[in-house]
Amino acid sequence: MFTSLKKWRKLSALERRQLAVLGVFLPIIDASLRLFGYKKTLGFVEFVSRHSTPRAPTADDISSANRLAELANVAGRRGALQATCLRQALTVHGWLRLRGLASQLKLGVGRLSDVPDMHAWVELDGHALGEVHPRHVAFQ
């Protein structure tokens, strides 16, 4: 607990707010997926986050989007709800689209020994956000 508190204190005010907002929206995305399924949830996220003129991301946009994906991972692991990568990716995807960035939600598969490993992530301008060692291949 004390290490979590120390980490919380090290976050900037912006990162604390982002983490709090992620903690609210991850359960909403979870409930939507459970009630309506993937296609309808994705459609809703993209409808409410549509932007009339998406713009190309700057290096700062990519850096802050990467940090947002990292915070979504923390919120997904440490929040009130254990949110999977799909829930995290849908939330980050919507957030970036609201900022006018043309993010892409990716679904893919990798292998952990003999077992296929499904994964969801967000890409921005070809960068896999929050992925330290990308090992999954996106479905076409």
Instruction: Report DSSP letters for 101-124, one per residue.
Output: B--EEEEEEEEETTEEEEEEEEEE
pLDDT for res 31: 96
What is the model's pTM? 0.87
Looking at the predicted structure, is the pLDDT value of residue 5 above 80? no
Q: Residues, the chain, total?
A: 140
DSSP SS3 for 56? coil
Q: How many CB atoms are located within 10 Å of the residue 19 CB?
A: 18
Looking at the predicted structure, is the pLDDT value of residue 1 above 70? no
Main-chain phi, psi angles of 20, to 5 degrees: -65, -45
pLDDT in tens, 82-133: 899 999 999 999 999 999 999 999 998 776 677 777 889 999 999 999 876 6
